[in-house]
Amino acid sequence: MASGNAIRGSRVGAGPMGEAERGESAPRLRISFWCSNGHETQPSFAGDAQVPDTWDCPRCGFPAGTDRENPPDPPRTEPYKTHLAYVRERRSDADGEAILAEALAKLRGEI
């Protein structure tokens, strides 16, 4: 006896396949982009879309350009700075000594 599943082997939304049922697809344009590691990616764009100057490489994440011989430079990453490094950029050692002397004087009750 059948289990009662009338649409067995089919999925929701399944229908006749073909261009006649869905209509014609929009014209597409495939553009090659190269990153500084030599990776090529070819995203497709609508025929009337404006193509960007750069595209992120899906393999390494570096920016990629349309010129194979002259790809964009990879971004420079700045090293992590500690709070003390930022303070040293703003204050000299003499300023630090003066602030420390003032704080110690307050604690000793001299001010």
Model confidence pLDDT, tens digit, residues 48-104: 989 999 999 999 999 999 999 999 999 888 889 999 889 889 999 899 899 999 999
Q: What's the token pair of residue 69?
A: 């011989």
The C-alpha atoms of residue 32 and residue 28 are separated, in whole angstroms, by: 13
Query: 3-state class of 79 per DSSP?
Result: coil
Q: For residue 77, what pLDDT is reported?
A: 86
Tell me the Ramachandran region of residue 61: left when phi exceeds 0, alpha when psi lies from -120 to 50, beta otherwise.
left
Residue 45 backbone dihedrals phi, psi, to 5 degrees: -125, 155
> Tell me, what's the pLDDT at 6?
59
Look up residue 53 and give its two tokens.
Answer: 């100057």
H helix or E strand, kind and range, residue 28: strand 28-30
**For position 1, what pLDDT does the model report?**
53
Q: What share of the chain is helix, strand, coil (3-state, %, to 5)?
A: 25, 15, 60
pTM value > 0.85: no
Which range, 15-24, 31-40, 90-99, is most confident?
Answer: 31-40
